Amino acid sequence: MTEVPSDLEVPSFYTNKCYYPWQDMIWQKLFTGNIQNDHLPHAILLNGVAGIGKKDFAFYLAKGILCQSPVENPKNQQLEPCHSCRSCQLFSVANHPDAYHLTVPEDKKVIPVDSVRKLIQWSVLNSHLGGKKVIIIEPAEAMNQNAANSLLKTLEEPVADTIIIMLANNKQALLATIRSRCQAIDMVLPDRAMGLNWLEKQASAVSIDKEQVGLMLSLANGAPLSALSFLHNTQLDIRQFIIKQLLSIHSEGIDPVQVADELTKCSKLKSNSKSKILSMTAYDIIYWTDALVIDIVRLSQNQSQNMINNVDYFSILQTLSKDLSLKKLLQLSLLTQKAYYEIQGSININLLFEQLFIDWKNCRI
Ligand SMILES: [Zn+2]
């Protein structure tokens, strides 16, 4: 991997010393059960929703594959990287010559074909440390058509002792030919008790009560790492602001175009802006709009309070569920799903928000 200047912090996915409790079975299946017999698949696709620790798992797996002498963890008899051999040490400082991390370049929105070509050139070189080589591609859906086609040849004719680990939030977005050449592993959300238990431990350093922890896990749709990120950023304030804006369209008759303008302005602020206005991404705006709409859909379908995510807005949402058309809410939900993909392209964000919020207003029966 490229050398990391000493004044830069190494990302935590290189330095982690464990995988998450809900990944135990997958670790057993992929690593413990295969590493000694050298039965690891040559291409692995880790698929699952965002916020469940796929990337941390993938890097830990890469470290384990490259480790010169994996050791047994006495607590659960799983094999794990030793953390002390030369390979583990190089990996922990993000400087392992036999590991390659392919992701979206900072100035781009996709993984371009040039990046895949560079990776392929690297993949045919001999291993520096004499062991395996590992490639991590994330998110795999970010490869454009040419890039994916280019990678396909490598998947069809695997290079000996080189293992490719791909990560996807939605494997259906990948070419079928790519999917079929990988061992796909579906990574699922932990059950709520396990997610809460883990999150409470992480939150113990911050003064936050159990109820708040539960709310965060609900808001993150049960994804523990997404929930944890809410502890460390302004996401809850952003959610409150967006919900307030959306509710004002129905409760105060505010023009949806005005709300779209306001939120577009917020989405264009730089995060280090000194402005008192919250900065947020277009993704945040769609995420919280979507979450609100889905909750009202659930309540319209007579689902109970504990089935919704924005539990702290329960009574307002319940009232709205009686005033809004289920059919139109479902149509709006489809639009928000589409919007997640559209914002990755060069769409006019302001027009997109206008359409969403006008439709939101028109949900009223
Ligand atoms: Zn090691």
Q: How far is the CA of 343 from the centre of ligand 1 (A)?
A: 41
Among the three residues 186, 219, 253, which one is the final residue of a domain in this structure?
186
On whether residue 215 sits in a domain, the answer given is no
Domain's final residue, options 186, 221, 241 = 186
Distance 119 CA to ligand 1 centre (A): 24
Q: Are residues 175 and 304 in the same domain?
A: no
pLDDT range class, residue 210, cuts 50, 70, 90: confident
What sections of 182-300 are H helices per DSSP? 192-203, 210-219, 224-232, 235-251, 256-267, 282-300
Say if 2 falls within a structural domain. Answer: no
Domain assignment of residue 113, given as a range: 12-186
Q: For tokens 């008899």, what's the residue?
A: 77
Overall pTM > 0.75: yes
Rounded (5°) CA angle 334-320-306: 80
* Residue 230 clears pLDDT 90, i.e. is over it: no
Question: Does residue 316 register a pLDDT over 50?
Answer: yes
Number of domains in the chain: 2
Domain assignment present for 195: no
Is 211 inside any structural domain? no
Half-sphere exposure of 36 (CA within 13 A, CB side): 9
Q: How far is the CA of 80 from the centre of ligand 1 (A)?
A: 8
Q: How far is ligand 1, taken at its centre, from the CA of residue 207, in Å? A: 37
164 and 250, same structural domain? Answer: no
User: What mean pLDDT is reported for the chain?
Assistant: 91
Q: Which of 6-15, 238-247, 317-326, 334-343 has the lowest mean pLDDT?
A: 6-15
Mean pLDDT (whole number) for 69-83: 95
Q: Which residues contact 300 (CB under 8 A, 6 or more apart)?
A: 321, 324, 326, 329
In a domain, 200, yes or no: no
Distance 162 CA to ligand 1 centre (A): 18
**Centre of ligand 1 from the C-alpha of residue 20, in Å:** 19
Cα(60) to centroid(ligand 1), Å:
11
C-alpha torsion angle, residues 245, 248, 253, 256 (rounded to 10): 20
Q: Find the 337 Cα to ligand 1 centroid distance in Å.
A: 42
193 in a structural domain: no
Say if CB 162 and CB 132 are below 8 A apart. Answer: yes
Which residues have their alpha-adjacent CB atom under 5 A from ion ligand 1? 67, 81-82, 85, 88
Do 34 and 135 fall within a single domain? yes
pLDDT band at 3 (very low <50, low <70, confident <90, very high): very low
pLDDT band at 268 (very low <50, low <70, confident <90, very high): confident
CATH code for the domain of 142? 3.40.50.300
- Same domain, residue pair 181 and 254: no
For 102-116, how does the pLDDT look when each residue is reduced to its tens digit (9 = 90+)?
999 988 889 999 999
Q: Quick check: is 175 in a domain?
A: yes
Gap between the Cα atoms of 324 and 182, Å rounded: 44
The reply to whether 226 falls in a domain is no
The pLDDT-based confidence of 2 (bands split at 50, 70, 90) is very low
Based on the fold, state whether residues 270 and 156 are members of the same structural domain.
Answer: no
Residue 164 CA to ligand 1 center (angstroms) comes to 19
Rounded to 10 deg, the angle between the 349-361 and 235-251 helix axes is: 50
Q: What DSSP designation does 156 have?
A: H
Asked if residue 48 and residue 179 are part of one domain, the reply reads yes
